[in-house]
Chain A
Amino acid sequence: MTDIINSLGIILYATLVYATPLLYAGLGSCFSEVSGVVNIGIEGMMTAGAFTGTVVAYFTGNPWIGFICGGLAGAVFGALHALATVRLGADQTIAGTAINMLGPGIVIMIAKVLFNSTDTVPLMADQKIPKLFSGLFDTSTVGGRFLDNVFATYASTYIVFLLVIAVWFLFYKTRFGLRLRACGEHPLACETLGVNVLTMRTLCVTISGFLAGLGGACVTMTISTQFRPISIVGQGFIAIAAVIFGKFKPQGALLGCLLFGFCSGLKVVLGGSAAVSMHLISMIPYVVTVIVLILFVGKSHVPSANGKPFLRSR
């Protein structure tokens, strides 16, 4: 019994830690897709954020400045994506592919110059994003250890859960959210009613980059302590998958990200016992996603104008 509770605690801990970066990036993806811009550049924006976050935290010694700068680095690439897709009518998939090459390319080059290596120097413990409520629980008891595992987690996790609520409120309970969703469904109607679609989309894609950057920074500032070229390998795409899974809603994305996080957590716990091949265990989240899609989710409603460039004719 004790073992089970301990394992459960570790799985939940890992679920939260692994789901957090996905959730930041997923919320970012929501902003972009709901406003009508496909953003497959999330991966590149995360890489930019992951690198910038660690480097700034390393040089300033302050994790929060690093974290925010990680977001800003993502926002720079988000703005670039917005410039291409919203202002210049570029194909959104092509532009996103470009971002996915430029992001890692540029930051790894900078890493080479700064550290003479593609990896950054590992962060000190106090340069990482701090854990909240650590030491609050009595870890000598089973229950205390469980609570410590689950609740004494990184501050970034608490922030992202608050963000999910905030984004949900913004999307569905405010005038801004209504306009944002309308931009993704019928931009021409929006424009006719006096909403500036181009401004809205530019803003949303930039926010999308900012959140993806925060997600990237989360990876290198919580799960690991340094940026390496393989820090961000596919998390951006998984976040996009989680958003499609969640039908382009922040609360749906939460569910999708927790599912992927949980599977990663399971992997961490089961990985110790080599009874089943590690590779087969790693496959679980992706197989489960496909099965869940077939059984429960089915067709997801893509915002009608998603992927279509909108340019004024005058």
Chain B
Amino acid sequence: MKNRKSLLDIISESTFIHIIMAILCGFIVGAGFLAIMGLSVGDAYGRLLSSVTSLKGFTYVIVYSVPYIVAGLSVAFSFKTGVFNIGAEGQFVVGSMAAAVVGIVLGDLPKPVLIPLCFLAAMVMGGLWGVIVAFLKTKWGINEVLSMIMFNWIAFYLSNFIAGIPGIKNEGSAEATRNISENASMLFPKDFIRSAGIAPTANWGILVAIAAMLFVWFVINKTTLGYRLKAVGFNRNAAEYGGISVNASILTALAISGALAGLAGALQLMGMGNRISIFSSQEGFGFAGIVVALIGCSNAFGVFVAGLFYGALMYGGSKLNLVGAPTQLINVIVGTVVFFIAISAIFKHIKNMKIRARAKEGIK
């Protein structure tokens, strides 16, 4: 028996290496497309890098990342419990709208009261959106993927409807809500932003994202609740047999996951958006959350880093057209990364086959 690990063993065991490899593959495929289109790979990737490494660019990246990180945490939390929260999109939207309504209607409240109140409203609405779906599943056995897709659209049209209500709607010609009160905004003071030369939308949101990350890490790894949820995620039947109520776990998991998605919506609004437009199609923060959770392996810290990576690509990507490369390149790169993360499962399979083969030799 050899004890030395082969290269294949090392590669197949480390999820971290899989992800780095997947990211490399993503950029290689992206470079391939650039080459086919006759564009300079160096120019495009150089632009991508330079636009996120300047001080201003870097602060933009952080600002962009915040909603992605928190939406990613939401999806990651649901993954741990074995539920696929494809409804994060809807929960994000209702959360964002709830925060906007509070931020507009109660705009006279002082900042230290109003900001937590906006967060609370967003988390309650997002959590509610998650709980409804969980309830439909546990009470009537309705497929959660189906009802989440429905509730994503209901949230979308509800948000558009509320944005048009007099008092909420913008007085000007803009198809949007009024701006939220100054007291609900999380932006850094204007003077500070100007003197520091950072992104004009620089805000405190990243601290909330860090808090959310610590919360998810703590609940999943250090509490009985987290243990229960994970047990249900690993094996529903075994958990039930062990005395854990599966239905209660699904309800709790989607409530927390929904609240996180709702919080992400509030952060996007109070940090960057300032108001909610009447959209013609879904914005996709929740779907981005799925991608971020996947790249971050559903691990709280991993999701945080993945969210920063995603934010950097989104911000850097928006500058790509300056060198004549289509912004859509970013989606191709990210899509490829996710694809390679998906197929990295084959390493685990190869390893299992090897173990089995070794076991057989042992028997002989």
Contact = CB atoms under 8 A, between A and B. Distances in A.
Nearest to B326: A112
Interface stretch (B101-109, B233-241, B329-337): B329-337
Interface string B327-348: 0111110111011011101101
B211 interface: no
Contacts of A283: 153-154, 157-158, 161
B204 interface: no
Interface string B152-196: 111001101100100000000000000000000000000000000
B277 interface: no
Given A101-B331, A102-B332, A290-B136, A108 B342 contact: no
Contacts of A237: 149, 152
A282 B140 CA distance: 25
B328 A97 contact: no
B338 A311 contact: no
Contact of A282 (B157, B282, B334): B157
Contact of B339 (A93, A98, A238, A289): A98
A193 interface: no
A105 B331 contact: yes
A181 to B, nearest CB: 19
Interface string A169-203: 00000000000000000000000000000000000
Nearest to A289: B150
A299 B348 CA distance: 34
Interface in A89-131: 89-91, 93-95, 97-102, 104-106, 108-109, 112-113, 118
A267 to B, nearest CB: 11
Interface string B66-93: 0000000000000000001010000000
> Which secondary structure dominates where chain A touches chain B?
helix
**Lowest 8 CB-CB distances: which A-B pairs, in order?**
A101-B335, A105-B331, A299-B141, A102-B335, A98-B339, A90-B342, A98-B338, A279-B161
Interface of B: 33, 37, 84, 86, 136, 140-143, 145-147, 149-154, 157-158, 160-161, 164, 280-282, 287, 290-291, 294, 326, 328-332, 334-336, 338-339, 341-343, 345-346, 348-349, 352-353, 356
Interface of A: 40, 80, 83-85, 88-91, 93-95, 97-102, 104-106, 108-109, 112-113, 118, 230, 233-234, 237-238, 240-241, 244-245, 277, 279-280, 282-283, 285-287, 289-290, 293-294, 297-300, 302, 309, 311, 313-314
Given A88-B343, A234-B153, 20 more contacts: A40-B86, A90-B342, A90-B346, A97-B290, A97-B294, A97-B338, A102-B339, A106-B33, A108-B326, A109-B326, A109-B328, A113-B37, A237-B149, A238-B149, A241-B149, A241-B150, A279-B158, A293-B140, A298-B140, A300-B143
25 contacts: A83-B343, A85-B342, A90-B345, A91-B342, A98-B338, A98-B339, A100-B335, A105-B328, A105-B330, A105-B335, A113-B37, A230-B281, A233-B280, A234-B282, A240-B145, A240-B146, A280-B157, A282-B157, A285-B153, A286-B150, A293-B142, A294-B142, A300-B143, A313-B353, A313-B356
